[in-house]
Amino acid sequence: RTSKEVLNVELNVFTTLFQRFWTTYGRIAGIIAQHPKLNSYTYIAECYRGMKMTDVDIFKYTVGQRVMNRSFLSASTNEQIALDFALKTTANGNASNSFQNIQQYADIE
């Protein structure tokens, strides 16, 4: 099944209102991000994210392009939590061979 079918049947949200998000904002992610039922989960304030990035990951970033969605799994309102996530070691206790990064995001209105 396509994501359009899933949205249409299971979420009943694929209407003309969401059609523009489907074609311009990354399809399913854009529709979900704009769904009114998610408004109660909106957070508009300062937050931090910590993530590990290899040099390959870093060079994939391009100014003006989309960011990796997976990186926001570590977002926190607490800077120390994001920093701890970025500096976390691997399961065997060794530091990973990736870059540590912490980014601060300002309020978005």
Q: Supply the pLDDT for residue 3.
A: 55
**Dihedral angle of Cα 86, 87, 90, 94, to the nearest 10 degrees:** 150
- Say if CB 49 and CB 74 are below 8 A apart: yes
For the chain, 109 residues long, the average pLDDT of each consecutive 10-residue run is 53 57 61 72 78 73 64 73 73 51 53
Q: Supply the pLDDT for residue 10.
A: 47
Q: How far is it, in rounded angstroms, from Cα 70 to Cα 67?
A: 9
Q: How far is it, in rounded angstroms, from Cα 107 to Cα 105?
A: 7
Domains of the chain: which residue ranges?
Answer: 3-41, 47-105
Per residue, what are the HEC states of 83-96? HHHHHCCCCCCCCC
Q: Report the predicted TM-score, pTM, of the whole model to 2 decimal places.
A: 0.41
